Structure 1
Amino acid sequence: MRALKMNGTGNAFLLVDARKQTFAVTPERVCDLAEAYDFDQLLVLETSTDADARYRIWNRDGGEVGACGNGARCAGWYLTRQSGTDTALLDTAYGLTQARRTGDFRISVDLGPALTKWQDIPLARVMETIALDYALESGGIRVSQPGAVSMGNPHIVFGVAELSGLPVEMLGSMAEHDPLFPEGVNAGFMQILNRTHIRLRVWERGAGLTKACGTGAAAAIVAGHRKGLLDRQCHAAMDGGDLFIDWREDNHVWLEGPVELEGGITL
């Protein structure tokens, strides 16, 4: 079976189109493939009666997850290239999602509604999600009161004065495995440059520190806006490049950015 190596703003993926050929996925197989091809997530497209494809995601540790924004953009780009159209419909764990081609290698995708109730994240106990009563410390550096948002997957976002020198790997891993988050959590660390621009790094559950995280960028803008610090349309500069986020009045968050096709492989 053929697969594609792709990335969305540096977020690395292996994309498999299994709509015409069965592709068996086990946690062990995902881990083996990740070791061989060095990706953050495995993306698998399956047949759907309601959309162009059913879209499924596995983190590099073998765990299946419900959402991946940059992965959805890569899947959307592939489907539009296959169909010769500018739009594609993905059948995801959180509902039907539209992807739109905005350039030869640029895709915008509807990530669905931002959910902010404590049960939606989910958290282990009742807590105000605008600013959680929660803190982490590593190497004498303390971060606290993150915003919590679900974008089909759980996120917390800490505001920091400066990203340089922040022990993101240590802090992110601590958050991922904290019992406050029964399904684990993606931990974002956001430096606000102005009301429409942020710098962001994200520790992804099951994948570690990645060059970009689409749902993490969306969660950061939602969290920042809820605190009165950001506008609803913002640019997020990540290690792999820039993303544009538009949190619309219908509560849906759109994510736009570049994709890259690195090449094909035979599994």
Structure 2
Amino acid sequence: MSLSFTKMHGLGNDFVVLDACRAPVVIDAETARRIADRRFGIGCDQILIVAPPRSADADFSYRILNADGSESGQCGNGARCFMRYVREAGLTDKTRVIVDIRDGRMTLEALADGTFSVAIGTPVFEPARIPLAGFSRAGAYTLDDVAGQPVRFAAVALGNPHAVLDVADVAVAPVATLGPALESHAVFPERVNVGFREIVARDHIRLRVFERGAGETLACGSGAVAAVVTGIADGRLDADVRVDLPGGRARVTWAGGTAPAFLIGPAERVFEGQLLSS
């Protein structure tokens, strides 16, 4: 038995894309870990499974599996790759599609300049809905001891929970220590993606992200949106912000309130192949 796949990336955040529209694809956690392994498998941050829609007014659905086999509810970089994939694979000729995801749906669009726009959804700041335990009011949060030091952060849910820490210089941010310590902290019952944000100007930030289930990646789309919308919410960023990640540049826009946030950036196809079962 073999499994056809396409390797793609969005700003270096890389994915193995599997087509379950033409034939069923069943992936358990162990298989996902083997596929994602960079020495014994294909290697990726996440696996994207393209599937038929679950609802009558959607075009597709998809699942996102992390490198450790756990499931994710949202991935902005993966969504852009998803949009490029379904068009180039001949699954649609639309420039705008609606996709069912684990916790709702999102709208994807292929833009005239070759980039892709993802309507990530409305940011959720209420602690119980992130979920963030031990806090009753939205705002800035402080934990007294994370990896031996106090940590102040903002938090938001965008399909996934996100924590955002401000740093003076992302190049020397303690991603390797604070990232995993906060990711698995008890206040985050579903774990959390941890963003380290350097605000350069009101329309420009630099960012590194430690993703739950994957570790630090070259880019995290929903993490970029989290870093921007929390900055807009506390009045430090404008409604249209460029985000420099280790893998390249993305753009995030948010009008505030109940409006959806948008992530705009590239998506690239790397290669295609067959994964042979052992």
Normalised by the length of structure 1, the TM-score is 0.94
What letter matches 1:227 in structure 2? D
1:187 aligns to 2:189 (yes or no): no
Cα offsets for 1:94-126 (capped at 9, x unmatched) = 322111111464110101110000011101222
Offset at 1:162? 1.2
User: Which of residues 51, 56, 64 in structure 2 aligns to 1:46?
Assistant: 51
Q: How does 1:4-23 map to 2 (within 5 A)?
A: 4-23=6-25
The 1:236/1:135 distance shift into structure 2, 3 A limit, reads farther
Secondary structure of residue in 1 paired with 2:238: coil
RMSD: 1.6
Partner of 1:207: 214
Q: How does 1:117-196 map to 2 (within 5 A)?
A: 117-134=126-143, 144-196=151-203
Partner of 1:95: 104
The 1:72/1:193 distance shift into structure 2, 3 A limit, reads same
Offset at 1:136? 5.7
Partner of 1:27: 29
- The number of residue pairs the alignment matches comes to 265
Identity within the alignment, %: 37
1:253 aligns to 2:261 (yes or no): yes
Cα offsets for 1:108-163 (capped at 9, x unmatched) = 0101110000011101222443211225665x8x5632110000100000011111
Partner of 2:115: 106
Offset at 1:20? 1.8
1:262 aligns to 2:270 (yes or no): yes
Q: Which runs of 5+ in 2 are unaligned?
A: none
With 68-77 and 237-246 compared, the bigger mean Cα shift is at 68-77
For 1:189 and 1:121, locate their aligned partners in 2 and report how far apart those are by CA, in whole Å: 18
With 41-50 and 229-238 compared, the bigger mean Cα shift is at 41-50
What letter matches 1:133 in structure 2? T
For 1:153 and 1:239, locate their aligned partners in 2 and report how far apart those are by CA, in whole Å: 21
The 1:203/1:18 distance shift into structure 2, 3 A limit, reads same
Cα offsets for 1:2-42 (capped at 9, x unmatched) = 21100011110001110121111100000000111110000
Q: How does 1:75-94 map to 2 (within 5 A)?
A: 75-81=82-88, 82=90, 83-94=92-103
The 1:136/1:253 distance shift into structure 2, 3 A limit, reads farther
Secondary structure of residue in 2 paired with 1:217: helix
Could you list the runs of 4 or more consecutive aligned residues of structure 1 that deviate by over 6 angstroms after TM superposition? none
Offset at 1:80? 3.0
